[in-house]
A and B are shown apart, each in its own frame.
Chain A
Amino acid sequence: MNKTCWIGTRKGLIKLKQDADNHWQLSAPQFVGDPVTQILPDTGNGTMYVALNLGHFGPKLHRSSDQGLTWQECSSPSFPKQSDNPDEGQSVELIWTIEKGAGDDLWTGTVPAGLFRSRDKGDSWEFIDSLSSLPASSEWFGGGFDEPGIHSICIDPRDGDCLTVAISCGGAWRSTDGGISWQEKANGMRAEYVPPEQAFDHNIQDPHRVIACPADPDRMWSQHHNGIFKYDESDGLWVEIKNVVPSAFGFALAVHPKEKDTAWFVPAVKDECRIPVDNKLVVLRTRDGGKSFDILSEGLPQEHSYDLIYRHCLDIAADGDTLMMGSTSGNLWVSENGGDHWNCLSNNLADIYCVKFGHD
């Protein structure tokens, strides 16, 4: 079966499809000129979604029931109106993640940090106040944006009421009752950017990305601001993977759909610099749960690279071998052998904000 992949860029949405010879073909762009901040191609019911962040007119959500041939705007998540005082209350600035839940459920995470659920394919959204009203939320702070944001929502495929969200910067939180109540889920994460006595404070952690292994959701991986961490539910603890070369800093993460010990990361120089180490773009792959890493560089630029891979810009297809990666410099690469070799598909796109494989 030929694969499909969707690329959200600062200047529009691009569909890639493999042709009969398995070559990737880029389609004409859609939403030309508009920043595409998130894509949900596979909802299981034939509807796909894209989130836009219109520079002047705010975040918008569109859906398609014909695999992206035509689009209709639907309702966007919004914070409830707080009071008659116009100085109070938050407004969604960015739809940062969209995930499919049980049945037709959709979940979105936003900047500022808000969690929303739709049970009607995006016709309406319920604000999950229980998370935002946690006393701990007053201590959350921005990481990359002025306001804290939710970028990762891991929904347990065995139980749609069990979800883990990750917040930059506000740690990780789990609900086992569909968002009614929440428990801290950042035990073991370590932060280098605060005074040492606060390093293990759950609430100030900056997990740049958290993904659970689809075949074994009790294993989660995180590319954290200052390290790579893995979590096993049996231990209830994040364990830091140390001595990662060339760097443990990064944003993007991909987890093998079946093998929980196999994951990919894209290292960079922290904190303000944010370029590949020595201007050489590489991907790290572990196949043994972080005991060792392969440094994969074949086909990637090994000089003069300023490519940063944002947290939603590395994805893996259901086959576990095909990876797609897009950068802030508008470069797009595919690997069809688990990262051993990368082919450049374009050097000319706008900044890439998200990469998502569609139906196989």
Chain B
Amino acid sequence: MASVEFTPNLSRHIECETLSSNGANLRELIDEICCDNPQLKPYILDDQDRLRKHVTVFIDGVQVQDRKGLNDLINMESSVYIAQALSGG
């Protein structure tokens, strides 16, 4: 299963421990981790389920490209890091 970590700054606002996911792409991963913690979703995605403007995600150290469709692929061994962008503070 892929591991999912969050920027520590998100924990100021909401519980977000390291999680794991079977999602095959970013959309599936976010749907899965938010299933048990629905409050998490609006911190990561906007009203149209796109990545928030000042949130970014790294999959195995590579920043995701598809910020709207969330179709970047994820392996079972992937490390996913949900981060805040340097913009937007």
Docked CA distance A89–B13 (Å): 26
A58 and B48 form a contact (CB under 8 A): no
Interface size class of A (residues with CB under 8 A): 20 to 34
Asked if A118 is at the interface of the complex by the 8 Å CB criterion, the answer is no
Q: Interface code A61-99, partner B: CB below 8 Å = 1, 0 otherwise?
A: 000000000000100101111100011111110000000
Known contacts A78-B47, A89-B48, A91-B48: A56-B42 contact under CB 8 Å: no
Once A and B bind, how many residue pairs between them come within 8 Å at the CB atom?
A: 57
CB atoms of A81 and B52 under 8 A apart: no
Number of interface residues of B (CB under 8 A): 22
Does A54 reach chain B (CB closer than 8 Å)? yes
Taking A73-B39, A76-B42, A87-B68 as contacts, is the C-beta distance between A56 and B55 under 8 angstroms?
yes
Evaluate contact between B9 and A56: CB separation under 8 angstroms: yes
B47 to chain A, nearest CB (A): 4
Q: In this complex, what residue of B is CB-closest to A57?
A: B43
Q: Which of B27-65 contact A (CB under 8 A)?
A: 39, 42-44, 46-50, 52, 54-55
A86/B50 contact (C-beta < 8 A), A55-B89, A56-B85, A57-B43 known = yes
Inter-chain contact B55/A91, CB cutoff 8 Å: no
Contact across chains for B54 and A55 when beta carbons are under 8 A apart? yes
Q: Is B10 an interface residue (CB 8 A)?
A: yes
Do B13 and A60 have beta carbons less than 8 Å apart?
A: yes
Q: Are A57 and B13 in contact (CB under 8 A)?
A: yes
Shortest beta-carbon distance from B12 to chain A in Å = 8
Task: Compute how far the CA of A55 lies from the CA of B87 in the bound complex, rounded to whole angstroms.
Answer: 8
A91 to B50, CA, bound (A): 9
Q: Which of A55, A87, A91 sits near B47, CB closer than 8 Å?
A: A91
A58 to B47 Cα, complex, angstroms: 10
Pick from A56, A86, A92: contact of B49, CB under 8 Å: A86
User: Are B46's CB and A58's CB within 8 A?
Assistant: yes
- Within the assembled complex, what's the spacing in Å between the Cα atoms of A58 and B13? 11
> What chain A residues lie within 8 Å of B39 (beta carbons)?
73
CA distance A58 to B10 in the complex (A): 12
Distance, CA A54 to CA B84, complexed state (A): 11
A73 cross-chain contacts in B, Cβ below 8 A? 13-14, 39
State A89–B48 Cα separation when bound (angstroms).
Answer: 6
Cβ contact within 8 Å between A56 and B54: yes
Nearest CB of chain B from residue A74's CB, rounded to whole Å: 10
Taking CB as reference atom, which chain B residue is nearest A73?
B39
Question: Are B48 and A90 interface neighbours, CB within 8 A?
Answer: yes
A-B contacts, 5 of them at CB < 8 A, read A57-B52, A82-B48, A86-B50, A90-B48, A91-B46
Further 18 A-B residue pairs, CB within 8 A, beyond A73-B39, A81-B47 = A55-B88, A56-B85, A57-B13, A57-B42, A57-B52, A57-B54, A57-B55, A58-B43, A58-B46, A73-B13, A76-B42, A78-B47, A81-B48, A86-B49, A86-B50, A89-B47, A89-B48, A91-B47
Chain B interface (Cβ < 8 Å from any Cβ of A): 9-10, 13-14, 39, 42-44, 46-50, 52, 54-55, 68-69, 84-85, 88-89
Q: Closest 7 A-B residue pairs measured CB to CB? A: A86-B68, A91-B46, A91-B47, A89-B48, A56-B84, A78-B47, A57-B43
